[in-house]
A and B are shown apart, each in its own frame.
Chain A
Amino acid sequence: MGCPDLETLAAFVDGTLTPAERRSVVVHLASCEACYEVVTETLHSEDEATAEEAEPAPAPVVVHPRFRRRAWRLVAVAAAVVVALLPLVLGGGGEWYEVSEGVVVGDYSARWGAPEDTFRGAENLPSVAFSDLRLGALLADVQVAVEGGEREAVAERLGVLKGELSESLQVRARGVGRLRETVEAEGLTPTVQQEIGALRDDLAHLSGVELRLGFWAEVSRLAVVSGDEGFIRERRWRRQLREFEDADLPDPFPEFLEGLRRALEEGDAGDVQSQLTRLLRG
């Protein structure tokens, strides 16, 4: 058997091969020094890049009446906006769902032309019980817009986020408002992107697994809408979905996740999209 192509080796590193494909690669690595070297060097490079990005964050700022503006500057992390996997401290740990490059980019409302195709956060989710879910989905939309370099979309979504936070987290809402003003005035500078990453981590520390579920569900929905067949076919959803299923979420989440799993196993993209939308809208 000849060497697998480089993308197959990359997919092996990413864990997106089928079991049979993975076995085939492993068997090959046992006897091919060239491919073994490429795979191990890729692993080391990725681990090094992840280690550089995941600098430990300062302790989260506690909501307090005396919270000051400059505290926002302290809540900065080294996590890059582009594809960072950050372990959560609360909620039993876990990871952010990775926004796959080349798939989830840009302002979808403008691109696909219909508002219901893009999750607009608070406008679509009426239930208070889903507030953390909604926050997660909003953060996903913010990140998508950041990755697409869409300054106006980022500012708009930060505005929605501010409205969402204003009832329960007034101090943070004001901080988000200032961040929005900075985006409008200065654009998506590296500092601004860092603060957006810090915002996500800050909210993650305060919220539970529902926030990550909302983030993942929205990113997954956008992946399916964009036609990323690899997301379903290569079962990229597998690990994250299992984590949420094991997270002992309250009703009615288990029922939603069950329906979602069924759709994913069957591979029906339309049904998957419906299930994700149903999850996000409550």
Chain B
Amino acid sequence: MPRPKYGADPEAAEACFVRRARDPYFWFAVAVGGAPLTLESRSQSAAEALFLEALPQIERIIAATCRRKGLQGAEAEDFASTVKLHLIDKDYEVLRKFRGQARLTTFLTTVIHNQLRDFRIRKWGRWRPSASARRLGTVAVQLETQLMRDGLTFPEAVGVLRQNFQVEETEEALEALAAQLPVRFQRRFTSDEALARVATPDAPDPVEEAERAERTEIVRGALAESLGALDEEDRVILRLRFEEGLMVSRIAPLLDLDQKALYRRIYGLLAALREALKSRGVTWAEAAEALDWRQGELADPEEKEESED
């Protein structure tokens, strides 16, 4: 029984599935004269078989994604259908092109998240859960989705979370969670129509708002310049650490870096960033807020130096 050897058949390198050996067409094609051993060149039966075998996995990833991203009910079903249709489309083209360079689970996850991005943009434009919400976890994302994207009042949002996502946190806990979200929302306890007839005492002062907007632009400009001066890998490291909240032990192997050296590198980057911002008249606190980075762990490098003295 022929076994593909490394380097012997470059086309065979495209497909790394043992399952292909179960496909009778595979052996027929080899027997009649060494047809290329790729899924893409064969009938769709193997890709279809792979899809069917991977379907429980696909559905599990879709379900977990919907839960994390606050998709529910008809919306979640719509998304699930979209994903499956995408995988089936053009004779399972997505799966036929899978090279085996990545794990199948990871590959399916990237495909599904890519689909989710398109799905979300089609439905709601560029809105995306904030970095703070993503760091705070699934409940925070679900809460923010109801409050900001769908415009529910706080009690309504809590009701949806309880009923559709089986969230068990107390109302106080959810309020505390909401307070950590970057966009300050009005905790409305009545209908929009009723509010529209009343000037709310919490309405922001337009002058203050204008000043704040101007200051935000200055901060963002300074950040763009300062971050833009960093190496690409440094920028990605900082985002993964402080925007996504990934631990250094998680980032180091991802970028194939030594973990201890990475700690020192991050500290050095923060110190350099702080100096660059300071020279542009931007404080550290302003920068962290504008970036929506994880402030609790984003120690001011100067404070850290003082504490080490």
Residues of A within 8 A of B (CB): 6-17, 19, 22-23, 26-27, 29-31, 34, 36-49, 83, 98, 100-106, 111-113, 225-230, 232-234, 239, 267-270
CB-based contact A234/B101 at 8 Å: yes
Pairs across A and B, CB under 8 Å, 5 listed = A10-B110, A15-B254, A225-B3, A227-B18, A229-B12
| Chain A residues near B61 (CB-CB < 8 A) | 45
CB-based contact A10/B17 at 8 Å: no
Q: Is B264 an interface residue (CB 8 A)?
A: no
| Chain B residues near A98 (CB-CB < 8 A) | 103
Q: Is B250 an interface residue (CB 8 A)?
A: yes
**In whole angstroms, what is the CA distance A80 to B251 when docked?**
25
On whether A46 and B5 interact (CB within 8 A), knowing A15-B253, A19-B256, A22-B255, the answer reads no
**In whole angstroms, what is the CA distance A111 to B21 when docked?**
8
CB-based contact B16/A267 at 8 Å: no
Q: Is B268 an interface residue (CB 8 A)?
A: no
List of 6 A-B pairs having minimum Cβ-Cβ separation, nearest first:
A10-B102, A30-B232, A269-B6, A227-B4, A11-B102, A101-B104
Q: Is B42 an interface residue (CB 8 A)?
A: no
Which of chain A's residues has its CB closest to B134's CB?
A44
| Chain B residues near A15 (CB-CB < 8 A) | 253-254, 256
Number of interface residues of B (CB under 8 A): 52
CB-based contact B104/A102 at 8 Å: yes
Interface centre among B13, B16, B64 (most CB of A within 10 A): B16
A147 vs chain B, min Cβ distance (A): 11
Residues 10-40 of B, flagged 1 when their CB comes within 8 A of A and 0 if not, give 0011001111010000000000000000000
CB under 8 Å from chain A, chain B span 165-214: none
Q: Which of B16, B134, B256 contacts A229 (CB 8 A)?
A: B16
B263 vs chain A, min Cβ distance (A): 19
Residues 228-265 of B, flagged 1 when their CB comes within 8 A of A and 0 if not, give 00001101100110001010001001111000000000
On whether A7 and B107 interact (CB within 8 A), knowing A44-B134, A103-B18, the answer reads yes
Stretch of B76-84, B111-119, B284-292 with 4 or more beta carbons under 8 angstroms from chain A: B111-119
CB-based contact B113/A230 at 8 Å: no
A277 vs chain B, min Cβ distance (A): 14
Q: Which of B68, B101, B250 contacts A8 (CB 8 A)?
A: B101
A25 vs chain B, min Cβ distance (A): 9
Q: Which of B7, B18, B254 contacts A267 (CB 8 A)?
A: B7
